[in-house]
Chain A
Amino acid sequence: MNSLEFANKIKARFGDLISEPAEFRGEISIKLADAEKISDVCQFAKSIGLDYLVDICSVDNYGEDPRWTMVYNLRAIGNGAEIRLKTDVPEEKSELPSVLPIWRTANWHEREIYDLMGIRFRGHPDLRRILMWEGYPHHPLRKDFPLAGKPTDLPGVAFTKVTPMEGGPFVTLPTGGDSIAREPRVRTPEGAEPGLSDKRLAKK
């Protein structure tokens, strides 16, 4: 079975919940209208042969509603067919069922998405932070979180400060839209502390 046949089978089973398969650069994507049904769709997908979960990704559509898009890349390890399953999650809810019972690899993927984006997974046995430390209050990959970071209280000896960005790399505006709208350029965050080099010079 190739990717299009897998997508059509899923659409045949779930009817209106699944969009028409879209094709871009040789890849088939289908969109699920209701995020709550993701568990059932994935269960069915696994049963017809899509037994390998390649990746789960979350996208922050800042400024649009629904805010989160979850992207599941599925593959049939027998013949190599791949499909992409997408679903939207609104910000007020920020929660959807976990697919951990279906593919055990989803464990760490979902923990990472919870850590960096803040989307919760119902039914995940151990949803805690994985890349940032326990007790970190923010979700860094959100568009409204600045690249330079925010100061936090870190238990132990170190601290976290805002990274000095002056004269530095490009930073984009946290809006949706293409590159032109997001205006990547060097920006000094307003009200930010001066960089370390300025402090050292100031002491002298």
Chain B
Amino acid sequence: MAQVQDIEIRDSAARTAAAEELQDVQGEKMVLNMGPSHPATHGVLRIVLELDGELITKADPDVGYLHRGDEKIAENMTYTQFIPYTDRLDYLAPLANNVAYALAVEKLLGIHDKLPPRCQYIRVMCCELARISAHLLGLGAFGMDAGAITIFLLTFTEREKIYNLAEAASGARLTTSYTRIGGLMRDIPPTWCAQVKQFCDEFEIALAEVETLLTRNRIWVDRLKDVGVVSKAMAVDYGLSGPNLRGSGVDWDLRKKQPYLCYQDLEFDIPVGSVGDCYDRYLVRQEEMRQSVRILRQCLQKIPGGGTNDAKEPVSIPDGKITLPSKQKVLSSMEELIHQFMLVTEGVNCPPGEVYFGHENPKGELGFYINSRGGGTPYRLKIRGPSFINLSILGELLPGCMISDVPVVLGSLDFVMGECDR
């Protein structure tokens, strides 16, 4: 006769305790290397897991497989020459990194609040487009690792539209290097704003589609709910930032708390989670994408000069000691020639001092600590990569989870190895 037995699903603490009780009976634990080349580790991350059956008892992340020596390279380059390296930090949102770095150097110069308004609005639009792009890829990869492979194709179609916009503005799809110290590389083309508006309309439909596929999906919710819970105190203690911090209930967003560019003039909400599990972090990112679209629409209304810039609003500070002067003047006038020469050979002359500037990147707080002793190259540039700090929590978060929870936890933390290892 068939017997019906209830399967008891216990929480992770009870499971670990039960596993430890059975330790003598069950035998040794297995050490599994989730190697640097793995489809679910989102880049070159190595985790050494100690398993007891399916339960993880110890996890030791091993990073550094993409350490390229950015900080040492920065000590040898002028500030402008380092901009392409910032693209490759969080390579899912290169526009945001460019803005972060440019603002850090501009803070050192003391001009970060004196940027022309059109430049500020364009930078905000670039940051928000980068935020949508990064969250889309995070979601796509996350879905693919958890088994929802359609999401990957849906999100990538929307990302291609953002790539088109980035290419129209800066010339490159992925590694844009769009900002310069004191402004932008060039103004946006006249049809750009109309394309952004069209993107916003199409994106909201696509986002709704992703919502219907995932948010109330039984399998998705079961896999994500109450997995990888990060409490508020733990999040602050471990220095988490971005959606990971907000998913745990801490209301901290640099765009609201330490506003930069023109964020004070824009209306948007900050989604904050309550439980701190993977599902909360997923919902926070979904809502952030919607709020980014809201910000984009407001910027399109308010941008000085409008889409076509008939009034010829400047996009860079017109100071020859900071921004390159226009080529006609360089080839005809002595003063501009000297400025061009000094800026290209020696770089922007920054005063001695030190600054730290934290920027709200899609992955968290990307911070640049610049220690300058005068001149055009930094004496020490430290990049505070949010993914480096977000990953340090793995050692405490994974033990107690099942091994099939690992891709879910990694996907919900949404890190990028480029800014982790630098």
Contact = CB atoms under 8 A, between A and B. Distances in A.
- Please say whether the chains A and B touch (CB closer than 8 A): yes
Interface of A: 24-25, 27, 29, 51-55, 57, 59-60, 71, 73, 77, 80, 82, 84, 103-105, 107-109, 112, 116, 129-133, 140-141, 143, 145, 147, 169-172, 176-180, 182, 184
Contacts of B199: none
Interface stretch (B179-187, B211-219, B233-241, B272-280): B233-241
Contacts of B257: 80
Interface string B239-251: 1000000000010
Interface string B357-393: 0100000010101010111110110101000110110
Contact of A55 (B64, B71, B238, B356): B356
Interface stretch (B263-271, B283-291, B346-354): B346-354
User: Which of B67, B376, B379: most chain A Cβ within 10 A?
Assistant: B379
Given A77-B250, A105-B237, A133-B64, 9 more contacts: A57-B371, A104-B392, A105-B239, A108-B392, A130-B63, A178-B373, A179-B373, A179-B376, A184-B377
Contact of B67 (A107, A108, A132): A132
A25 B347 CA distance: 21
Contacts of A129: 64
Nearest to B365: A54
Given A54-B239, A132-B67, A170 B367 contact: no
16 contacts: A25-B108, A51-B236, A54-B356, A55-B382, A84-B356, A131-B63, A132-B64, A140-B72, A147-B69, A147-B73, A170-B77, A172-B75, A172-B76, A178-B352, A179-B374, A179-B375
Contact of A131 (B67, B237, B346, B389): B67
A55 B384 contact: yes
B356 A73 contact: yes
Nearest to B355: A25
A116 B347 CA distance: 27
A179 B349 CA distance: 9
A178 B375 contact: yes
Contact of A54 (B355, B384, B392): B384
Contacts, number: 123
Given A133-B64, A180-B375, A25 B369 contact: no
Contacts of A145: 72
B88 to A, nearest CB: 15
Interface string B189-224: 000000000000000000000000000000000000
Contacts of B377: 170, 172, 179, 182, 184
A178 B358 CA distance: 25
A101 to B, nearest CB: 11
Contacts of A52: 236, 239
B110 interface: yes
A125 to B, nearest CB: 11
Contacts of B373: 176-179
Given A77-B250, A108-B388, A24 B72 contact: no
A171 B91 CA distance: 26
A179 to B, nearest CB: 2
B87 interface: no
B112 to A, nearest CB: 9
Given A27-B356, A51-B236, A80-B258, A59 B107 contact: no
A170 B388 contact: no
